[in-house]
Amino acid sequence: MICNENELESLKPYHPLGAWAMQDPCYARVCVEWRQVALSSPQLFKTIYLNDADLSPRNMDRFVCGISGYLVRSSQVPLCVNVDHTGNDEGFMENAVWRRLLEESHRWRTLSLRLDVACLRQIPPLDLPVLQVVDLFVGHTAPRLEGGSANSLPLLGLENAHGVRHASVQLAPGVFPDTEDLELPPSWHLTILILNTDFLDNMLQAIRVVGPTLDTLWVHTKHAPPLMDEAGQYLLPDQEGAVDLPVLKHLSTMHGGSDMIFFVHAPSLQSLAMRIPQTDCLDPLLRMIKRCRLQSTLTSLSIAAIQNPRESDYETLLECLRELTAVSSLSLRNTDGRPEHSVVRNRLISDLVGESGQSPCLPNLRSLSLWHGQRNIYGGYIAHLIYETIKCFFDHFGL
């Protein structure tokens, strides 16, 4: 924290109890010098971090004085504000330190909030003309409020921020026990969006709102919506259910987030990475490739650790790769310890390269990474795969 100006002048900086008791001259001098630098050169220190200790009543006067002194001297410097408050008390907005920061909201360049739902709802409409980056971690200790669902999360206080381009939202487990939608301000013209929550259902509407401008999307969910009915037929999303991402170039998913490929329409997609995707991810991937016509646009594909791969997945994977003729970078990784159940087979290279004299499956391939996992157990399998890889390339090019 920035120091109290009175403390600075009297050369009596704040100390931990042990250091103060020992009258540590080195510790005291370093604190004094750094605080002098902070107050005399505010452009060097743009981040203000507040946690529960800073917001407690016993430290209020000292921190208000220190914050005010710094804010006055740094009036021309954009601010990076980081607030970590784990409680759900209704008096959060009355905190003097927080209120002093709110007065300078027109200077906020980046905003990182770790707050409970109840505290987040208390943020009033702010003037945020230079805000570019928002990072939210939303807790879940708030009781249900009268006059609405406790599970809805409107970010009304952050709506007047037309310059936001990068947003990250993480919801603690249990924030949405029901399937209420996360609401992102439509005024945010995002190019990068990172989402981390329990359920994909809560994210879809938020992605739709900011979708038209998204360039990069990263989605991590623990659970995914059902993709098949009881008869095993895919539940194709209707026009209203689809997520239109016209300029999206990079899509990364983890766990249940891999089912985004079932919903998105992203004709400009260039890079797709799926980590620990769902078991039935390859059929929706093939559908997405054909639906979005990615044959000539997707240049990078990474699939890591399909859960419980099926015997038919290998053929489906090959069919996907045959469609993606523009791919120049391919990475496949499997963590299942049984080679017979892996999508990384010892014949994969020959299937990709093709027989001698034939056109390769991926004519533009420049980078290939294959990882089976469990190397210490299946070292012989890996060695055989390497041998087959080298042999295939030598045979194909007649060497």
Q: Report whether 125 contacts 155 (CB < 8 A).
A: no
Number of domains present in the structure of the chain: 1
Q: ∠ CA(319), CA(372), CA(303), 5° rounding?
A: 45
Q: Please indicate, yes or no, if residue 186 is contained in any of the structural domains.
A: no
Q: Is residue 318 part of a domain?
A: yes
Report if residue 185 sits inside a domain.
no
| Residue 334 located in a structural domain | yes
Residue 305 structural domain: 270-399
Phi, psi of 341 (to 5 degrees): -105, 10
Q: With 50 as the cut, is the pLDDT of residue 173 above it? A: yes
Least confident of 72-81, 104-113, 359-368: 359-368
Nearest to 259 by CA among 240, 239, 243, 238: 243
Contact 206, 181 (CB under 8 A): yes
Query: Would 29 be classed as within a structural domain?
Result: no
For the chain, first and last CA: distance in Å? 66
Q: What are the two backbone dihedrals, phi and then psi, of residue 383, each rounded to the nearest 5 degrees?
A: -60, -40
In this structure, is residue 148 part of a structural domain? no
Lowest pLDDT segment from 35-44, 112-121, 241-250, 256-265: 35-44
pLDDT digits (tens, 9 = 90+) for 87-109: 666 667 777 888 888 999 999 99
pLDDT over threshold 50, residue 3: no
Q: Specify the range with the lowest mean pLDDT, choosing from 59-63, 142-146, 282-286.
A: 142-146
Confidence of residue 167 (pLDDT cuts 50, 70, 90): very high
pLDDT at residue 354 in the model: 65
Look at the alpha carbons of 99, 101, 104, 109 in this order and tell me if their dihedral is positive or negative. negative
CA atoms of 214 and 317, how far apart (whole Å): 27
Q: Which of 149, 151, 187, 142 is nearest to 167 (CA)?
A: 187
Amino acid at 86: T
For tokens 């107050």, name the residue: 39
Region 34-39: what's the mean pLDDT? 69
Residue 241, in any domain of the structure: no
**What is the percent of the chain with per-residue pLDDT over 90, rounded to a whole number?**
25
Residue 244 pLDDT > 70: yes
Question: What are the residues whose beta carbons fall under 8 Å from the beta carbon of 217, sequence distance 6 or more?
Answer: 192, 193, 195, 207, 245, 248, 250, 251, 252, 260
- Does 90 fall in a domain? no
Tokens of 267: 């004709």
Separation between Cα atoms, residue 161 and residue 82, nearest integer Å: 17
Q: Which residue has the higher pLDDT, 300 or 70?
A: 300
pLDDT in the model for residue 350 = 72
Q: Which of 63-72, 150-159, 208-217, 356-365 has the highest mean pLDDT?
A: 208-217
For 238, counting Cβ atoms within 10 Å of its Cβ (0-12 exposed, 13-18 middle, 19+ buried), the class is exposed
237 three-state secondary structure: coil
Q: How far apart are CA 188 and CA 161, in angstroms?
A: 7
Q: What is the mean pLDDT of residues 172-176?
A: 69
Mean pLDDT of 228-241: 52
Say if CB 254 and CB 219 are below 8 A apart.
yes
Asked if 88 and 141 count as a contact pair (C-beta separation under 8 A), the reply is yes
pLDDT of residue 361: 80
SS3 373: coil
The model carries a pTM of 0.79
